[in-house]
Amino acid sequence: MEYLLFIATDTEPEPSDTDVTPIEDWVAEGERRGIRKQGDRLRPPADATCVRVRKGELLVTDGPFTESKEWIAGYDLIECADLDEAIDYASRHPMAHFGRIEIRPIDRDDD
């Protein structure tokens, strides 16, 4: 199963844990185990651009405008045997301690 991990900030991060895996080690583990296929950090929402097409007209805006303090700071595409393996790997990402990781299965439905 393929999953996209959204690495997100959290509104109220917990006090930082002491035992946090450095991101380099996390990436190295994912590559060694053949779990992590790709991924990167993202620039903050201030650098984002939104594109919409409505009735044939292109609408480009700055943003997304959001009051939320939660935003996506990075992503990783991983391949795991099942959700438990994905949860286990995601739980060791440093941002799991300060933010949150959203695990979204890639939709491989034929129908």
Helix (H, G, I), strand (E, B) or coil at 105: strand
Nearest CB to other proteins, comparing residues 64 and 105: 105
CB of 39 to other proteins, least distance (A): 19
CB of 81 to other proteins, least distance (A): 7
Contact criterion met (CB below 8 Å) for 75 and 7: yes
Nearest CB to other proteins, comparing residues 57 and 82: 82
CB of 28 to other proteins, least distance (A): 21
CB of 110 to other proteins, least distance (A): 13
> Residue 108 corresponds to which amino acid?
R
Nearest CB to other proteins, comparing residues 72 and 87: 87
Binding site for other proteins (CB under 8 A): 1, 3, 80-84, 86-87, 103, 105, 107, 109
Structure tokens, 72 = 């996506």
Q: What DSSP string describes 24-90?
A: HHHHHHHHHTT-EEEEEE---GGG-EEEEEETTEEEEEE------S--EEEEEEEE-SSHHHHHHHH
